[in-house]
């Protein structure tokens, strides 16, 4: 009778192991699939961030060029006014109009540059959120592997909770709802 009892006991234990492994497989599949989707979206966000940053740099360079032109024009006007009392009034007005135009153009360029910088910052917020999602999902997959090896249900449940937390963070990032944590970003950054 003891052999039958041992065989039954082994079958019951094997069934439990298979049940845990089956649950691990399902959670890993869901977690890995969602992580792949997040990686694609995060890659797109990084490309958009790079584009916004390039436009911002270009705009600030253009702003600097306009500032340089304005400064040269202002200096030329000062020299013209100081050195030649018979300076042509139309030339002076031309320089003054150029200075006014440069000032107006610089303001427009500054707004564009600040807009690109804001766009970069907004995108960076969700890039960080997707990065945190990926970190949580990677940790969850590692913990799920350990739970499969050790057959510890509590570890399976904990890993599943970590995975769900990562998925929630990722879904909110897809929906452009900020759950950004500056504390976590500072630790990871």
pLDDT in tens, 84-124: 666 678 888 898 999 999 999 999 999 999 999 999 999 99
Residue 12 lies in a domain: no
Interatomic CA distance for residues 143 and 149, integer angstroms = 10
Q: Is residue 115 part of a domain?
A: yes
Within a domain: residue 8? no
The pLDDT tens digits for 56-78 are 999 999 999 999 999 999 998 88
Residue 111 forms part of a structural domain: yes
Q: Is residue 184 part of a domain?
A: yes
Say if 4 falls within a structural domain: no
Whether 152 is covered by a domain: the verdict is: yes
pTM comes to 0.72
Q: Is 127 within a domain?
A: yes
Angle, in degrees to the nearest 10, between helices 89-150 and 153-174: 160
Which phi-psi region, left, alpha or beta, contains residue 178 (left: φ > 0; alpha: ψ -120 to 50)? beta
* Residue 119 lies in domain: 20-188
Count of domains for the chain: 1
């Amino acid at each position: 009778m003891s052999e039958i009892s041992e065989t039954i006991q082994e079958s019951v234990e094997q069934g439990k192991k298979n049940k845990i492994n089956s649950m691990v497989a399902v959670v890993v599949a869901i977690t890995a699939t969602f992580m792949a989707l997040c990686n694609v979206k995060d890659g797109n966000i990084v490309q958009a961030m790079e584009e916004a940053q390039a436009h911002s740099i270009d705009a600030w360079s253009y702003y600097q060029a306009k500032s340089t032109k304005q400064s040269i024009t202002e200096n030329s006007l000062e020299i013209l006014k100081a050195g030649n009392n018979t300076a042509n009034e139309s030339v002076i007005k031309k320089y003054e109009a150029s200075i006014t135009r440069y000032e107006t153009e610089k303001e427009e360029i500054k707004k564009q540059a600040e807009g690109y910088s804001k766009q970069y910052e907004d995108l960076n917020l969700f890039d960080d959120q997707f990065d945190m999602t990926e970190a949580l999902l990677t940790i969850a997959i590692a913990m799920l592997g350990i739970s499969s090896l050790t057959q510890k249900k509590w570890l399976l449940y904990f890993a599943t909770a970590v995975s769900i937390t990562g998925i929630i963070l990722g879904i909110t990032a897809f929906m452009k709802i900020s759950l950004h944590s500056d504390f976590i970003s500072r630790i990871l950054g």
